[in-house]
């Protein structure tokens, strides 16, 4: 059963795992390892991740039907903010594969047995709040430029965005704001969830470790954030169907990135199978 210690780890003190220096080559290696994890049983992982294209289509339909076309792009790009939390079951599969344990798809739900579940939930709630704040900011930017009237149609909206100076202003300000939100998510959670699955360190330690990982490896970590964003965009283009492959590969790769960035824990600190 999970113990309700969120601020600190199971020991009651703030854990500060040692951070390694990594290179761009380590990012490529993590992606290769992530693809290998995915390829081991792709049918299981595609089954698990079909929810992402479905949710994407639902969100797009909802925003279009509600005369909220201006929120389609923020919703799509917002996947990158909640992705680290949404992919937590994939980290668990990679963790089990690393240990030589059974990796059938049902074990993706073993996260509910993790002693760090309260900490995982706390960081997840933080990301959801960040996502909702991003939508609010995106809507506020649109209203500040175009007013509170929603677009009349897709065609007029596209003409408004790409055919006017105000539209390009919206693109510029929106992407700058989106970059800042993505940077916050990267700095606070790049290795947070894998760390919590590996050992019950506490939410604060997980966030602090992610921040130190970014500070110690600014170029590789920023490049990793860019890779994630580009792959999510590519996966979203064919009606979100590509996310069924992109999300699991990135999820598994994030586990391997964690292994490269954070020094291994003592055996007594690790979560058993």
- What mean pLDDT is predicted for residues 117-130? 93
Q: Is the pLDDT of residue 217 over 90?
A: yes
Per-residue confidence (pLDDT) for residue 1, from 0 to 100: 42
pLDDT interval class at 20 (50, 70, 90): very high
Q: Is the pLDDT of residue 174 over 80?
A: yes
Task: Using the structure block, give the residue that is written with the tokens 């089954």.
Answer: 47
What 3-state class would DSSP assign to 262?
strand
Per-residue confidence (pLDDT) for residue 8, from 0 to 100: 61
| Dihedrals phi, psi of 19, to nearest 5 degrees | -105, 135
pLDDT in tens, 94-111: 988 888 887 777 777 778
CA distances from 32 to 28, 29, 70, 242 (A): 6, 5, 36, 18
- What mean pLDDT is predicted for residues 117-132? 92
Q: Which range among 30-44, 210-224, 237-251 shows the weakest confidence by mean pLDDT?
A: 237-251
Torsion of CA 255, 80, 113, 96, to 10 degrees: -20
Per-residue confidence (pLDDT) for residue 177, from 0 to 100: 95
Question: First CA to last CA across the chain, in angstroms?
Answer: 14
Per-residue confidence (pLDDT) for residue 273, from 0 to 100: 55
Q: Is the pLDDT of residue 233 over 50?
A: yes
Q: What is the C-alpha separation between 130 and 145, in angstroms, rounded?
A: 23
Question: Contact 201/195 with Cβ under 8 angstroms?
Answer: yes
Q: Is the pLDDT of residue 7 over 80?
A: no
Q: Is the pLDDT of residue 39 over 60?
A: yes
Name, in order, each residue with C-beta under 8 angstroms of 65's C-beta and a sequence gap of 6 or more.
none
Question: Contact 128/85 with Cβ under 8 angstroms?
Answer: yes
Pick 169 or 61 by higher pLDDT.
169
Single pTM value for the model: 0.83
DSSP state of 17: -
Per-residue confidence (pLDDT) for residue 10, from 0 to 100: 57
Per-residue confidence (pLDDT) for residue 45, from 0 to 100: 67
Pick 115 or 253 by higher pLDDT.
253
Angle, helices 218-236 vs 79-86, to 10°: value is 100
pLDDT interval class at 268 (50, 70, 90): very low
CA angle 10, 214, 25 (to 5 degrees): 110
Q: What percent of the chain has a predicted confidence (pLDDT) above 70?
A: 82
Per-residue confidence (pLDDT) for residue 243, from 0 to 100: 78
Q: Give the H/E segment covering residue 18.
A: none
The dihedral built from the CA positions of residue 232, 237, 242 and 243, taken in this order, carries a sign that is positive
């Amino acid at each position: 059963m999970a113990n309700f210690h969120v601020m600190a780890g199971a020991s009651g003190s703030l854990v500060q795992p040692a951070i390694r220096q990594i290179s761009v080559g380590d990012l490529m290696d993590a992606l290769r390892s992530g693809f290998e994890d995915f390829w081991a049983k792709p049918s299981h992982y595609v089954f698990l991740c079909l929810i992402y294209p479905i949710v994407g289509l639902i969100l797009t339909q909802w925003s279009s039907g509600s005369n909220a076309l201006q929120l389609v792009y923020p919703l799509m790009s917002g996947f990158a903010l909640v992705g680290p939390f949404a992919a937590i079951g994939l980290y668990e599969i990679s963790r089990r594969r690393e240990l030589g344990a059974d990796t059938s798809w049902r074990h993706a739900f073993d996260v509910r047995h993790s002693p760090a579940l309260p900490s995982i939930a706390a960081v997840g709630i933080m990301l959801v709040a960040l996502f909702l704040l991003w939508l609010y900011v995106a809507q506020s930017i649109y209203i500040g430029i175009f007013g509170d009237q929603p677009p009349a149609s897709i065609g007029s909206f596209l003409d408004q965005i790409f055919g006017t100076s105000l539209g390009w202003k919206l693109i510029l300000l929106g992407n700058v704001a989106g970059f800042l939100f993505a940077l916050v998510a990267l700095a606070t959670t790049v290795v947070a969830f894998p760390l919590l699955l590996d050992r019950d360190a506490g939410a604060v330690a997980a966030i602090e470790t992610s921040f130190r990982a970014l500070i110690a490896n600014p170029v590789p970590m920023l490049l990793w954030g860019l890779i994630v964003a580009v792959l999510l965009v590519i996966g979203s283009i064919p009606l979100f169907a590509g996310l069924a492959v992109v999300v699991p590969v990135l999820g598994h790769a994030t586990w391997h990135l964690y292994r490269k960035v954070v020094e291994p824990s003592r055996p007594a600190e690790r979560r058993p199978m």
